[in-house]
Amino acid sequence: MIDPAIVNTLVFCGIASLSSVGLTLTYLTTRVPNFAHGSFITVGAYVAVYTAQILKRSPYEVIWASALLGGLLAVTQYKLVLSKLRRRQATPTLQMIATLTIAFFIFGVMSIFADYFSRLYRIRTNYIALRSWDFEVASIPGVMVLSLTTVSALTILLYLFLNKTRLGIAMRASIENPALAEVLGIDVDKMYTLAWFLSGSLGGLAGMMYSMWLPVTTTSGDEFLPTVFASSILGGLSNIFGSLAGGLVVGAANSLIPYAAAQLGFVELIQFRPVIPLVIMSAILLTKPQGIISLRLGPRGRY
Amino acid sequence: METELVIRFLIDLAPWIAAYLVISLSLNLEYGFTGIPNFGKVLCVSGGAFIVGAMPGQIIAWIYRLGEGMDYFDNHAQIMSRVNDVLANNILLGVLMLVLSLVAASLFGAALGYISSIPAIRLREEYLAMTLLAMGEILILIGDNYKGFIGGTLGVFVPSFLAAVPQTLRGFVMVAIIIVIAMAVYIFVHVLTSSPYGRLLRAIRDNEDLAVSLGRDVSSVRREVIVLAGALAGLAGALLALNSGAVNARNFSRANHTFIPWVMVLVGGAGNNTGTAVGVILFIIVSRLIDVSKRELQAFLPFDVVWLTPILLSVSLLIVMFYRPQGILPEKRLETLRPPKAQSPATSREK
Q: Is B254 on the interface with A (CB under 8 A)?
A: yes
Per-residue pLDDT of A191-216, as tens digits, reads 999 999 999 999 999 999 999 989 99
pLDDT at A161 > cutoff 50: yes
Q: Is residue A40 part of a domain?
A: yes
Other CB atoms within a 10 A radius of the CB of residue B114 amount to 16
> Which of A118, A121, A271, A290 to substitute to test the interface with B, most B CBs within 10 Å?
A271
Of residues A129 and A108, more confidently modeled:
A108
Other CB atoms within a 10 A radius of the CB of residue B184 amount to 12
DSSP chain A: ---HHHHHHHHHHHHHHHHHHHHHHHHHHHSS--TTHHHHHHHHHHHHHHHHHTS---GGGGHHHHHHHHHHHHHHIIIIIIHHHHHTT--HHHHHHHHHHHHHHHHHHHHHHHHHHHHHH----SSB--GGG--EETTEEHHHHHHHHHHHHHHHHHHHHHHHSHHHHHHHHHHH-HHHHHHTT--HHHHHHHHHHHHHHHHHHHHHHHHHHS-B-TTHHHHHHHHHHHHHHHTTSS-HHHHHHHHHHHHHHHHHHHHHHHHTT-GGGGGGTTHHHHHHHHHHHHH-TT-S----BTTTB--
* B126 to A90: CB separation less than 8 angstroms, yes or no: no
Share of chain A above pLDDT 90, in %: 52
Q: Give mean pLDDT, residues B132-157.
A: 86
Beta bridge partners of B156: B247
Q: Is B176 on the interface with A (CB under 8 A)?
A: no
* A104 to B259: CB separation less than 8 angstroms, yes or no: yes
How far, in whole angstroms, is CA A291 from its chain's centroid?
18
Amino acid at A28: L
The length of chain A in residues reads 303
Per-residue pLDDT of B184-235, as tens digits, reads 999 999 999 999 999 999 999 998 899 999 889 999 999 999 999 999 999 9
How far, in whole angstroms, is CA A16 from its chain's centroid?
6
Beta bridge partners of A128: A216
Of residues B180 and B312, more confidently modeled:
B180
ipTM higher than the 0.95 cut? no
Residue numbers in A near B309 (CB within 8 A): 108
Q: Is B318 on the interface with A (CB under 8 A)?
A: yes
Question: Whole domain around residue A169: which residue ranges?
Answer: 4-219
The length of chain B in residues reads 351
User: Number of A:B CB contacts under 8 A?
Assistant: 124
Predicted confidence at residue B193, as pLDDT, reads 93
- d(Cα B179, Cα B160) in Å, to the nearest integer? 18
Predicted confidence at residue A295, as pLDDT, reads 44
CA contacts within 13 A on the Cβ side of A197: 9
- Going from the C-alpha of B106 to that of each of B46, B111, B233, B325, the distances in angstroms are 11, 9, 7, 32
Residue numbers in A near B315 (CB within 8 A): 105
Give the nearest chain B residue to A116 (CA atoms): B303
Amino acid at B216: R
Select from A129, A149, A128 the least CA-distant residue to A140. Answer: A149
Interface of A with B in 215-244 (CB under 8 A): 222-223, 225-226, 229-230, 233, 237
- Going from the C-alpha of B282 to that of each of A131, B16, B29, B233, B285, the distances in angstroms are 46, 12, 20, 20, 5
* B262 to A289: CB separation less than 8 angstroms, yes or no: no
Q: Is residue A82 part of a domain?
A: yes
DSSP B118-184: TTTTTS-HHHHHHHHHHHHTHHHHHHHH-HHHH-GGG-EEPP-TTTTS-HHHHHHHHHHHHHHHHHH
Predicted confidence at residue A298, as pLDDT, reads 40
Of residues A181 and B340, more confidently modeled:
A181
Q: Is B206 on the interface with A (CB under 8 A)?
A: no
pLDDT band per the 50, 70, 90 thresholds, residue A106: very high
**Whole-model pTM?**
0.91
pLDDT at A296 > cutoff 60: no
- d(Cα A210, Cα B287) in Å, to the nearest integer? 34
- d(Cα A107, Cα B43) in Å, to the nearest integer? 21
Of residues B28 and A257, more confidently modeled:
B28
By the 8 A CB rule, do A213 and A10 touch?
A: no
Predicted confidence at residue B336, as pLDDT, reads 64
By the 8 A CB rule, do A225 and A273 touch?
A: no
Distance from CA of A38 to the nearest CA of B (A): 12
Residue numbers in A near B126 (CB within 8 A): 27, 31-33, 92, 96
Pinpoint the alpha helices (H) of B195-307. Answer: 196-206, 208-213, 218-244, 254, 260-268, 273-292, 294-298
Using alpha carbons only, how large is chain A's radius of gyration in Å? Answer: 19
Q: Is B133 on the interface with A (CB under 8 A)?
A: yes
- Going from the C-alpha of A226 to that of each of A247, A256, B133, the distances in angstroms are 12, 17, 8
Predicted confidence at residue A132, as pLDDT, reads 82
- d(Cα B266, Cα B262) in Å, to the nearest integer? 6
* B308 to A272: CB separation less than 8 angstroms, yes or no: no
Give the nearest chain A residue to B138 (CA atoms): A274
By the 8 A CB rule, do B86 and B64 touch?
A: yes
Share of chain B above pLDDT 70, in %: 95
Per-residue pLDDT of B255-287, as tens digits, reads 899 999 999 999 998 999 999 999 999 999 888
Select from B1, B22, B28, B93 the least CA-distant residue to B225. Answer: B28
Predicted confidence at residue A117, as pLDDT, reads 93
- d(Cα A21, Cα A232) in Å, to the nearest integer? 7
- Going from the C-alpha of B161 to that of each of A11, A175, B84, the distances in angstroms are 49, 59, 8
* A281 to B134: CB separation less than 8 angstroms, yes or no: yes
Domain ranges of chain B: 2-251
- d(Cα B113, Cα B117) in Å, to the nearest integer? 6
Question: For every residue of A105-132, which 3-state class applies, written as one string?
Answer: HHHHHHHHHHHHHHHHHCCCCCCECCHH
Question: Which residues, at least 6 apart from B223, have a Cβ–Cβ distance to it below 8 Å?
Answer: B114, B117, B121
Q: Give mean pLDDT, residues B20-45.
A: 95
* B303 to A112: CB separation less than 8 angstroms, yes or no: yes
3-state secondary structure of B328: coil
By the 8 A CB rule, do B125 and B51 touch?
A: no
Interface of A with B in 140-169 (CB under 8 A): none
* A115 to B325: CB separation less than 8 angstroms, yes or no: no
Select from A50, A39, A65, A45 the least CA-distant residue to A117. Answer: A50
Residue numbers in A near B138 (CB within 8 A): 274-275, 278
Interface of A with B in 38-97 (CB under 8 A): 81, 84-85, 88, 90, 92-94, 96-97
Per-residue pLDDT of A215-263, as tens digits, reads 999 999 999 999 999 999 998 888 888 899 999 999 999 888 888 888 8
Residue numbers in A near B313 (CB within 8 A): 104
Residue numbers in A near B321 (CB within 8 A): 85, 90, 94, 97-98, 101
First to last CA, chain B: 78
Residue numbers in A near B266 (CB within 8 A): 97
The mean of the pLDDT values for chain A is: 88
- d(Cα B12, Cα B5) in Å, to the nearest integer? 11
